[in-house]
Structure 1
């Protein structure tokens, strides 16, 4: 049964459509439906199509040129034109008047379409009326593919280009669409919500009613209860992202899933292109950075490298190294773990824009521009926060790697970066010592300069020789073979940590003041420690740390 313009206008869903011209031709059969994508659209038509336009494609042509494009439609016997007005069209009123004149003279139905109605909603509706289910899906898939291809070919995937793809997809599915990094931070969104993606406990597998190459998940958005469809995008096992469509305005249909498929393919194409370009550029920069940090360049070569890397002689830098550790890894990284390191590299580049970041097999190195006036505590807190973000992203991917960060000294310009790099690598190798010194087993960031005297201990092969550096008085306490020994050692450590204040020691240990006094007196009598001698107390402090190192090693 034929589907005509008259039947379309009679649909309750489209009662807001307004017939402007061609009332006598409303029985024309609709053979297809297309958006006018280029001025020379007539050459791409097969005949009998219902055309949709906002005249935006004709925005730069003159009124005379516009009319010539209209005349070209005569041979195609189009069934009608749906017009949705849009701003920023040169000579808009004149062009609309010409369109009306053309449709009146050729007896072509011209229908005014409200701005709030999506072209793609109309396309999906009409296709389902004029074609069988399978043909409608095939035609819709091809049409959405063509539109995404128009955005894709010949142009790189940048944030603005990705924005265009997401805006088009959002228009097609009539719902907000967002692309997230693998660490769940927002990259680009069509809906204005730039908050992080929260993967909830109710996240479940979803199988769409179309053939798909991608893995769909579904959950309810926190706060609103709206259904979110989460689709993981992976390119060359290096680039990972999440495309999320939120059912804010209407439920997704099978045709919407087809549009999503084409959008993802377009994004993947762009990501592959960008990935290859970035890999070439990264390899070139990696070689330069490696030579700089290894001290292999002469003065002229260093100056050339500084220009290429934009490392300025009056600015300050640190070299930061990132390593991933896994208990079951052994001495060799698997290919999967190396891929995970590559993903982490990308996340660091996202978190630290403008810094030089490159991967060297199992380590990631960053030349970081820093503010020499920034307080050490503030800087380290920011680095710890960044590590927490990276660790959370690793956990979301169900991986078990643990991030550790080593930081070298602050240097000015490019010439001393090799020294900062040396310290950053040493800081990683001393990470266990740093944890003992800080008393924090969860410490992820080690600043080499914080190791102080203990840097000398890193090269000792036989840790038992550390006993030579522990005061005899402290050795007597550790040799005390009675149940109270553990409490006495803890009390001594807390007493020294609180500047030998008995009140603060008692509060920290949740014991009575008299108990703290008794324990310190007992330690003094048993070991002969002179708590008034600052040199001896310094040696005792060092000895306590050395004992912890020995216990950890054993």
Structure 2
């Protein structure tokens, strides 16, 4: 290799070669007098790397030449993995094609014949085959592949399933180029393979999984992709891998320039974690488990190109998702607000949303508050709603999600045969999942939810939505209604008689349901007013038991008795009258409703 050095003759500096210089040969020759000399000249490739030479490679285990002996002298100019049926578009000619036929798993025999006919147009040097019994119609496809190889003199070679494609590609590259160029060539080869996979139209059923599977074939180790919540997003193999980031993980040098952070942590098998911030604002973790082969620098090159392919795919998914969400948002908004009046339009909207127009549904309205303080920054509130929407989408099943200003609306499929108690249990479980998801963003975020009734047909969703919104609006007074302390989820049906009052949106009319005696207490404009109101609620909740009232309020018994006497004096309430006590209870709740309306 002819090299130019940056250090020159400067002492103490290590010379670094420029890789782009032209190669030369160096030959040991002798003069007529027997003196040794070095004769240098421009390199000439005296011997091509052929398929026949490849078959003589010792460290690839047993290789069987199935057919195509006439093509053994074909020159190998590169290696490409067939990871998508239309990979032929990206072949230049002279490649050694590697395949397990899994890319053709879903192809019919006719489709497979078409791909082979397309392959005939390319002058490939050979085919490396690893048989997989899981491939549909594998034996018939191998017969067709053999016919093609025999007809066109293409060596068809079977290798052991344990031999990784990366090993084959590395050996081919090492034979063709020197060490530095091998890395560059391997980078370009893996880049081309991943880009061909990304641009292919035939792999879109599970694109992220296909990218991970291709990486798995290259590095021969289990791979899993985790989101920022450390939930497994995708993995090679059929099972999901459980993984937890270790605080003892050490930095790992991949040996190449990288924009990503590599760490290594110990376990049953060493794990290499690549933290990456994708270009759509998502942080994810790529985890490689060193179970079979040693993780090395060549693997890191493959990982870097896999990440580029993942970035492309997530960008595509993000753009499509934005369009779908915007379209679905408009459709759901019209349905929930009763703007769809035509049966044909309703049926069309249901079809576009993937909903059964005659199915059973329940609407749940979610909101979030910041515990301990009132936030005034609009961007913080918007961020919280975006988090809430993502959590509801990820953690709840069978839901359609719609964002309405500062609330997230979930339309959940429902079983009308379940009991009310079972529904309450289900709703609490849903709330717990959403709350846990929001706590991962910020532990001070508290989720609240209101649920409407079950309706049959999406035309009736407007009614369930209104009930859910009303229940959500009065979630803060749920404790006054149920007498069970603070609540974070409220079913509209649990509002009881207060369902009627929810229909009244005029505070002046609501005030008519507050007894005059209680109005006097709320009009008592002195510092003790709040203590007196709390004491009255507690006293009624404990069935006028002064001892329990004092204990609950952490005050002396005489203080509680004094306050009750003060209340009786201000209001004139007759605590011995059951009807009046009931009216006062209702009045306390109604006054909270009035406060909510005034806040709005």
**Normalised TM-score (structure 1):** 0.69
SS of the residue corresponding to residue 240 of structure 2 reads: coil
Q: Is the 8 A contact 1:384 1:444 kept in 2?
A: no
Are the equivalent residues in 1 in contact too, given 2:55–2:63 (CA < 8 A)? no
Q: Select the residue among 419, 422, 438 that pairs with 2:463.
A: 419
Tell me the C-alpha RMSD between the 2 structures. Answer: 5.8
Greater CA deviation, 373-382 or 182-191? 182-191
Partner residue of 1:365 out of 391, 409, 412? 409
- Between stretches 226-235 and 277-286, larger displacement belongs to 226-235
C-alpha contact (below 8 Å) 2:518/2:584 kept by paired residues: yes
Q: Partners in 2 of 1:434 and 1:343 — Cα distance?
A: 25
Q: Deviations over 1:276-303 (max 9, x none)?
A: 3333333233223222323344455764
Greater shift after overlay, 535-544 or 140-149? 535-544
Aligned residue number for residue 333 of structure 1: 378
State the secondary structure of the residue aligned to 1:178: strand
Are residues 1:403 and 2:447 paired?
A: yes
Q: Is 1:356 matched up with 2:400? A: yes
CA contact (8 A) 1:218 1:227 kept: yes
Give the conservation status (yes or no) of the 8 Å contact 2:222–2:236.
yes
| 1:476-523 deviations in Å (ceiling 9; x for gaps) | xxxxx9xxx9xx9999788669xx9x9xx9xx99xxxxxxxxxxx9x9
For residue 90 of structure 1, give the secondary structure of its aligned residue in structure 2: helix
- Partner of 1:145, secondary structure, is helix
How far 1:310 sits from its partner (Å)?
Answer: 6.1
| Aligned partners of 1:156 and 1:274 also within 8 Å | no
SS in 2 for 1:409: strand
Does the 8 Å contact 1:184/1:197 carry over to 2?
yes
Q: 2:219 aligns with which of 169, 173, 177?
A: 173
| Secondary structure of 1:373's aligned partner | coil
Q: Give the 5 Å matches for 1:128-167.
A: 128=174, 131-155=177-201, 160-167=206-213
Q: Deviations over 1:45-104 (max 9, x none)?
A: 565x6654557789958999999999989x88x5x765534550427368659858988x
- Partner of residue 140, structure 2: 90
Partner of 1:379: 423
Conservation of the 8 A alpha-carbon contact between 1:318 and 1:409 = yes
**Residues 471 and 539 of structure 1 are in contact (CA less than 8 Å); yes or no, is this contact kept in structure 2?**
no
Query: Which residue number corresponds to residue 122 of structure 1?
Result: 168
Within 5 A, what are the aligned runs for 1:206-217?
208-216=254-262
Q: Deviations over 1:248-299 (max 9, x none)?
A: 3234322223322322332332333333333333323322322232334445
Residue pair 1:319, 1:366 contacting (<8 A) in 2 also: yes
Selected match of 1:282 from 300, 310, 325: 325
Report 1:231-270 matches (<5 A): 231-232=275-276, 234-237=278-281, 241-270=284-313
Q: Say if 1:543 and 1:290 are closer, same or farther in 2 by CA, change over 3 A.
A: closer
Gaps of 5+ in 1: 476-480, 510-520
Distance in 1 separating the partners of 2:402 and 2:383: 14
**Partner residue, 2:15:** none
Partners of 1:156 and 1:195 in 2: how far apart? 27
- Taking a change above 3 Å as real, the CA distance of residues 428 and 70 of structure 1, as seen in their structure-2 partners, is closer
Residue in structure 1 matching 2:362, options 318, 323, 333 = 318
Residue 271 of structure 2, aligned match among 208, 217, 227: 227
**CA deviation string 1:192-230 (max 9, x = no partner):** 223665455546765643333445555556xx4642525
Do 1:157 and 1:274's aligned partners in 2 also have CA atoms closer than 8 Å?
A: no
CA distance in 2, matches of 1:400, 1:219: 31
- Match of residue 314 from structure 2: 271
Q: Distance in 1 between matches of 2:251 and 2:590?
A: 52
Q: CA deviation at 1:168?
A: 1.4
The aligned counterpart of 1:430 is: 474
- Which of 2, 9, 16 lines up with 2:61 in the alignment? 16
Residues 351, 305 of structure 1: CA spacing in aligned structure 2 closer, same or farther, 3 A cutoff? farther
Residues 40 and 371 (structure 1 numbering): CA distance in 2 closer, same or farther, change over 3 Å?
closer
What is the Cα deviation at residue 115 of structure 1?
1.0
Contact 1:302–1:414 (CA<8 Å) still a contact in 2? no
344 and 46 in structure 1: CA distance in 2 versus 1, 3 angstrom threshold: same
| Distance change in 2, residues 1:39/1:198 (3 Å) | closer
**Displacement after TM superposition at 1:450 (Å):** 2.0
Q: Which structure: larger Rg? A: 2
Q: Equivalents in 2 of 1:9, 1:150: separation in Å? A: 30
| Cα distance, 1:538–1:340 mapped onto 2, change above 3 Å | closer
Q: Is the 8 A contact 2:256 2:297 kept in 1?
A: yes
TM-score (norm 2): 0.65
Q: Which has the higher contact order (CA 8 A, sep 6+)?
A: 1
Contiguous gaps of at least 5 residues in structure 2: 1-24, 26-46, 523-527, 553-560
SS in 2 for 1:211: coil
